[in-house]
Amino acid sequence: MAQKSLSISDNEKLVDELASTFKDKVLSVDWTTPRRVYIKIVTHAHRDLIKWIREKFPNSSYLVSIDTIDFIDKGEFEIRYKMQVVHNNIKLTLTIAMNVARDYPRVKTITDIVPGAVLYERENYEMFGIIFEEHPNLAKFFLPETWPEGIYPLRKDVSVIRKKPKVW
């Protein structure tokens, strides 16, 4: 029976190395499970971290997704870049999260480092209105062409639930 052994120390070593390389940029490191880590960074530092990971593991890492969460009560968006590294004993999912001000949501694109981020960035633009600077084609992808400008459906202050008409 092939038991999947996991040496947690390798995962921890990688995260320690990442945290020591970007001492002034990493705010906190949280382990959710031995294979998943949540790294909070300062705003606009995402490019350096993703570049570091992609250059360290060019043949064993990829971008899983870019997500946004609308914390309307704090007045900010949290953008999360999920990266996967599978290299020898390292089996690690990194969630690199940063806060962006809700009234001025502008971040630099990562499409020059990871070309596969094109669609994720377009999705976050049309659903949350986050503007990814220097993106090659920041156009609508999912929503119809007739969708009104300036309404970003996944924001918390936008309600898309239709009210039932009063019958009597």
Partner 1 sequence: MKNMSSLISLVVGPQHPALHEPERFVFKIEGETIVDVEPRLGYVHRGIEKLMETKEHTEAIYLAERVCGICNVAHTLSFGEAIEEAAGIEVPSRAKYLRVIIHELNRIHSHLLLLGVAAELMGFETLFMLIWRDREIVMKLVEDLTGNRVISSLVIVGGVSRDISLELIHKMKKHLPKLYERVKQYKKMMEEDPTFTARTVNVGYLSKSKMLELGGVGPTARGSSVKMDVRDFDPYEAYDEIPFNVAVYDEGDSWARFMVRVDEVLEAINIILYALDHLPQGPIRVIPPRAFEGEGFGRVEAPRGEVFHHTIWRGESKPWRHRIRTPTYANIPAVCEMFKGYHLADAPVILGSIDPCFSCTDRLYVVDAKTGKEKVIPYWYIRKKYWKR
Residues that bind partner 1 (CB under 8 A): 1-4, 32, 35-36, 58-65, 67, 69-70, 84, 86, 91, 93, 114-119, 127, 140-144, 153-154, 160-161
Note whether 14 and 92 are within 8 A (CB): yes
Nearest distance in Å: CB 151, partner 1: 12
Nearest distance in Å: CB 130, partner 1: 14
Strands (E), the chain: 26-33, 36-41, 61-71, 76-87, 90-101, 106-108, 131-133
Measuring CA to CA, how many Å separate 3 from each of 7, 11, 34, 36, 87?
13, 18, 16, 20, 18
Note whether 49 and 18 are within 8 A (CB): yes
Closer to partner 1 by CB, 24 or 58: give it. 58
Closer to partner 1 by CB, 58 or 165: give it. 58
Nearest distance in Å: CB 50, partner 1: 12
Amino acid at 45: A
Extract the tokens encoding 168: 């009597």
Closer to partner 1 by CB, 20 or 33: give it. 33
Closer to partner 1 by CB, 19 or 69: give it. 69
Nearest distance in Å: CB 83, partner 1: 10
